[in-house]
Amino acid sequence: MEPLASNRVTLLTLIFLLFLFIQPSLSIYCDEDDCYNLLGVTQSANASEIKKAYYMLSLKRHPDENPDPESKKFFVKIANAYEILKDEATREQYDYAIAHPEEVFYNTAQYYHAYYGHKTDTRAVLVGLFLILSGFQYLNQWTRYNQAIEMVKKTPAYKNKLKAKEFERTGGVTNKNKGNKQMNKYDLPYIFL
């Protein structure tokens, strides 16, 4: 019972950590927006239409022309949407994520695979993975340590020690113990012979 319960706690902790590290899938592409909507194209638009739409929008909404912060935000958004849609592989992934929103884990994994593949230094990813794995390892060992402690507590030796401590604390029995010790002194040589 005890080890099973601990395993379940560890598993739940791992899942919780995964959710901390990984955002739900669809929102990772263009946040709450639809990447196609942002560029003002339909999902069936071809590559040159997407490119054209992006260039028109980025000219019109360039922060140099429109100094207000909203324009800057929008410019960043359309640049991000174009990053996703201009690449055939990431566009396919995005289309798949739209069509299968229930496959959260698969879509998220695909997104991060593409994302780390393109934009991030591989070494940083490895360090991140190492840290996450170390965290899991630590959790695992912590659970095992607690399990070991629980098992030791159940052994007769530990229980006897507890009883002995209890006797010492309550007193009254100390005389009996002394008597036992005295006897042991005489007994020992014979035992070892």
Ligand X SMILES: *[C@@H]1O[C@H](CO)[C@@H](O)[C@H](O)[C@H]1NC(C)=O
| Contacts with ligand X, residue ranges (CB under 6 A) | 46, 48-49
53, 39 contact by CB (below 8 A): yes
Residue number, 32 or 88, with CB nearest to ligand X: 88
Q: Which of 90, 102, 83 is nearest to 24 (CA)?
A: 102
In the bound complex, what is the minimum distance in angstroms from residue 53's beta carbon to ligand X?
11
Name the 3-class secondary structure at 102: coil
Question: Cα–Cα distance between 123 and 134 in angstroms, integer?
Answer: 16
* Closest approach of ligand X to the CB of residue 41, in Å: 10
Q: Which is nearer to ligand X, 52 or 72 (CB)?
A: 52
Which candidate, 8, 12, 22, 10, places its Cα nearest to that of 105? 22
Give the orientation angle of helix 122-154 with respect to helix 2-21, to 10 degrees. Answer: 160
> Considering beta carbons, is residue 48 or 175 the nearer one to ligand X?
48
Q: Which residue is nearest to ligand X (CB)?
A: 46
Using the minimum distance from each CB to ligand X, give the nearer residue, 26 or 57: 57
Smallest separation, CB 95 to ligand X (Å)? 17
Cβ proximity to ligand X: between 46 and 175 the closer is 46
Neighbours of 113 (CB within 10 A): 12
Distance CA 86, CA 84 (A): 6
Q: Determine contact, residues 114/25, Cβ cutoff 8 Å.
A: no
Work out how close the CB of 78 gets to ligand X at its nearest, in angstroms, rounded to a whole number.
19
Nearest-approach distance from CB 25 to ligand X, in angstroms: 29
Beta-carbon neighbour count of residue 61 at 10 Å? 17
Shortest Å, Cβ 88 to ligand X: 12
Beta strands (DSSP E) in 63-113 are none
Which of residues 42 and 170 has its CB atom nearest to ligand X in the complex?
42
